[in-house]
Amino acid sequence: MDFGDSPAEAEFRQRFRAWLVDNNPGLPASSTDDDYWAGQAAWHQSLYDAGFFGLSWPTEVGGHGLPSVYDAILDEELAAAGAPPRPGLGYLVHGILEHANDDIKARFLPGLVNGRDRWCQGFSEPDAGSDLASLRTRAERDGDEYVITGHKVWTSYSDDADWCLVLARTDHEVPRHKGISAFAVAMDQPGIEQRPLKMINGITKEFGEVVFDGARVPAANMIGEPGDGWPLAMTVVSHEREPGELGYVARYRKLAKELTAAVKADPTAYDAEQVRQLGWAIVETEMLRHHVSRRLSDRLDGITHGPEGSVDKLLMTWTEQTVGHAALGIGGADHTGDGDDTWLKVYLYSRAQSVMGGTSQIQRNLIARRILGLPA
Amino acid sequence: MHVRFSPEQDALRRSVAQVADRLGPQAVGQLDDGERRAKLDAAVAESGWRELRTPAEGGAPWASGVEVAIVAEELARGLADVAFLGPTLAAELRRLTGAPAADDAAETVALTGDLAALGSTVAVDAAGAAVALGVRDGHVVALSVGAELPPVDLTRPSAEVGPDAATLAALDDDAADRWAALALALTCADLVGAMRGAVELSVDYAKERRQYGTAIGSFQAVQHLLADAHVLAEGSRSVALHAAWAVDALAPRDALAAAAVAKAYCARAARTVGETAIQVHGGIGNTWECLAHVFVRRALLATDVLGGEGPNLTRVLAHHGVGDQTGAGDGLR
């Protein structure tokens, strides 16, 4: 058991640390400022071009074929430098890698990995949230194309996206899990209407609605076979639950560091309870960092994850919301109207973590049934 | 970075689990079975697990903090009522200070009255111990172990210590930090084991106990309590393993900071998990005969040794430059 760097890992860490000195874009956090999204594509491309993106993905799609623990090292250095987190696209990459044919992989993965193509995910619908299999968006065959009609919601960053991974029903005669197919749909076409949504902390890029009304997609853009949409969706959401995939540890460590600096700068301004909340933010962030190291190390030995992703999702959620409480206590309570409301935004954004990617209640159901073996 | 047990560490874990399952108490009534306890003690004595921190050639311990944590976790999971924490920490104190090896008398450590630091008031994990190593005026001293105190932990007795102290060696700051790091990491592993055992006990009960014509484990209200308990145990395990690794891999102050992070997290988690175990067992969980409170009591002792969430949050904050940083800032000496 070794939490420390091997010689090769130490060399990588030093190389990335040196690169970051000149290449940290100093973007605001995605969770508090729409300006992040103006600079995110350039940050993604900058990481990719320097050889620091897609570390654990296969080389043939633009990755580096390194063990997953390199992602943890990258995240530690990003946090230490106060740099923005890496774009968390692993769930899309894994979904396509595991379910698409070679043609789809060759056409779409390089652009997704190198950051030149922007993607969003069209899964949830107004009447299909936790119960995703009840989705009603339709894809009907028309010659060499499918015609898509339906309403998607929580399509994060959809107004910046070139492509959308859409789940749509292609067969109404079979059981509902078996009639869903997945498509790569071009976003720049008539028949797609964007409706950005404003989150409770005021940012507008993260949430969106997309209405498909006769949007067209070539049949050759189907990912997998007809009816393969559900297993693909399960692959995507299982990776979407993993903090190692998302790189969120870097975001939490950056926030904890900034909160610590705020308290050190004006120690008498905070009461014992506020300082205590900072202590818990540090403790839980460290816990999550070590938990991610443990999980990513499992993959070195070929262990892939099933329901354990739900454990990771809850630990990630509790950590983010503990950091959110510290942010509220330390910086969120400025009622004078002339202050910076960044910490209030951090707090309000943290409430989404127990909903996005599957609610905490759904994760608990999965843990109870699939890990603890409790009866239905 | 390879946060996985080696084959040897896996084998160690399995053999400790076998001993704990075979000779640990399966019910509260078995806690009084002296014959079983003697067999358990003999098995542990024969295994050499209590000598993991005695010095090998060059003064390094025979085994790392990770092996110590593996043994502590599996013994706690099986509620093994056998000395391990005390003898291990006594051996570490002798090793770190260069005090000569103990004679044949079994040893434990003496802490302050609230158990929050090395001291000379209470001998912990004192079963079978004749000597307790404590600290007076910056020096490690040997004290005699007296009468047992009313137990909090039903698996590990504490005892009074005698007034006469034989001075063994000076304790410097680095040695004190290293010792505290091991003590905290060991107690974290103990808490993780107690959490795992309490969750297993409660899950088994929820599958068997029927109300409204069905197993109570089929109700989401019960499932979510147990799911949260499982998640807390898993997060605790990750942070506790890091602390165990850090004992020998990091500089003393950093090892101590890693241990304080782990202890704050594990102590809080263990209280919630223990309370969940009592709750899921319902009325039975509030009776002496249910093992749930034995896990809770074991966790209370492990929490108190070098402190729970309060003192360790203070240590964590001090390490980050917030709050009291006078001296070592950790109140361990």
Percent of chain B whose pLDDT exceeds 70: 97
Instruction: Kindly calculate the radius of gyration of chain A based on its CA atoms and give it in whole angstroms.
Output: 21
- Nearest CA distance, A139 vs chain B (angstrom): 36
pLDDT, tens digit, 9 for 90 and up, residues B219-255: 999 999 999 999 999 999 999 999 999 999 999 999 9
Can A240 be counted among the known catalytic residues? yes
The pLDDT of residue A338 is 66
The pLDDT of residue B327 is 41
Q: Which residues, at least 6 apart from A107, have a Cβ–Cβ distance to it below 8 Å? A: none
What average pLDDT does the segment B121-142 reach?
96
**Choice among A125, A240, A245, A308 that is catalytic:** A240
Could you say which of B3, B230, B239 has the minimum Cβ distance to residue A367? B230
- In the DSSP assignment, the letter for residue B165 is E
Secondary element (H or E) of residue A310: helix A308-331
- Nearest CA distance, A375 vs chain B (angstrom): 5
Residue indicated by tokens 């500089």:
B251
pLDDT, tens digit, 9 for 90 and up, residues B268-282: 999 999 999 999 999
Q: Residue-wise over B141-175: b if at least 16 C-beta within 10 A, else e? A: bbbbbeeeeeeebbbbbbbbbeeebeebbebeeeb
Please name every residue paired with B169 in a beta bridge, in sequence order, or none if there are none.
B140
pLDDT grade for A333, boundaries at 50, 70 and 90: low
Q: What is the pTM of this model?
A: 0.95
Q: What does the alpha-carbon distance between residue B190 and residue B85 come to, in Å, rounded to a whole number?
A: 9
Burial grade of A309 (CB within 10 A; 0-12, 13-18, 19 or more): buried
Q: A83-87, A95-99, B167-171: lowest mean pLDDT where? A: A83-87
The pLDDT of residue A2 is 95
Q: Which of B195, B224, B226, B231 to mutate to test the interface with A (most CBs of A within 10 A)?
A: B231
| CB–CB contact A286 B239 (8 Å) | yes
Q: What does the alpha-carbon distance between residue A173 and residue B107 come to, in Å, rounded to a whole number?
A: 74
pLDDT, tens digit, 9 for 90 and up, residues B57-112: 899 999 999 999 999 999 999 999 999 999 999 999 999 999 988 788 899 999 99
Give the type of residue at B90: A
Residue B103: count of CB within 10 angstroms of its CB: 8
The pLDDT of residue A373 is 98
Give the type of residue at B259: A
Q: What does the alpha-carbon distance between residue B278 and residue B268 come to, in Å, rounded to a whole number?
A: 16
Q: Which two tokens stand for residue A361?
A: 């209640």
| CB–CB contact A282 B317 (8 Å) | yes
| CB–CB contact A300 B321 (8 Å) | no
**CA-nearest residue of chain A to B223?**
A368
Q: Does B227 touch chain A (CB under 8 A)?
A: yes
pLDDT value at B328 more than 50: no
Residue indicated by tokens 């300082």:
A275
Could you say which of A279, A287, A367 has the minimum Cβ distance to residue B227? A367
CA atoms within 13 Å, Cβ hemisphere of A193: 8
The pLDDT of residue A305 is 66
**CA-nearest residue of chain A to B222?**
A368
Do B15 and B48 meet the contact criterion of CB atoms below 8 Å apart? no
The closest alpha carbon to B64, from B107, B9, B133, B17, belongs to: B9
* Interface ipTM > 0.90: yes
Q: Does B207 touch chain A (CB under 8 A)?
A: yes
Mean pLDDT of chain A, nearest integer: 92
Q: What does the alpha-carbon distance between residue B81 and residue B71 come to, in Å, rounded to a whole number?
A: 13
What average pLDDT does the segment A344-348 reach?
93
Q: Which two tokens stand for residue A242?
A: 């993993």
Q: Does B49 touch chain A (CB under 8 A)?
A: no
Q: Which two tokens stand for residue A271?
A: 């009461």
Higher pLDDT, B327 or B301: B301
| CB–CB contact B3 A315 (8 Å) | no
Domains of chain A: 7-96 (1.10.540), 119-229 (2.40.110.10), 236-371 (1.20.140.10)
Domains of chain B: 175-319 (1.20.140.10)
Distances (CA, A) of A83 to A108, A238, A306: 28, 27, 31
Q: Residue-wise over A234-259: b if at least 16 C-beta within 10 A, else e? A: ebbbbbbbbbbbbbbbbbbbbbbbbb
Do A258 and A210 meet the contact criterion of CB atoms below 8 Å apart? no
pLDDT value at B153 more than 90: yes
Burial grade of A363 (CB within 10 A; 0-12, 13-18, 19 or more): buried
Q: Which residues, at least 6 apart from B285, have a Cβ–Cβ distance to it below 8 Å? A: B277, B278, B279, B292, B293
pLDDT, tens digit, 9 for 90 and up, residues A264-291: 999 899 999 999 999 999 999 999 999 9
Q: What does the alpha-carbon distance between residue B244 and residue B249 come to, in Å, rounded to a whole number?
A: 9
What average pLDDT does the segment B146-157 reach?
96
Name chain B contacts of A311, Cβ cutoff 8 Å: 230-231, 234
Phi then psi for B159, rounded to 5 degrees? -150, 160
Phi then psi for B146, rounded to 5 degrees? -105, -140
**CA-nearest residue of chain A to B205?**
A374
Q: What does the alpha-carbon distance between residue A246 and residue A274 come to, in Å, rounded to a whole number?
A: 28
Q: Does A7 touch chain B (CB under 8 A)?
A: no
Do A241 and A356 meet the contact criterion of CB atoms below 8 Å apart? no
pLDDT grade for B330, boundaries at 50, 70 and 90: very low
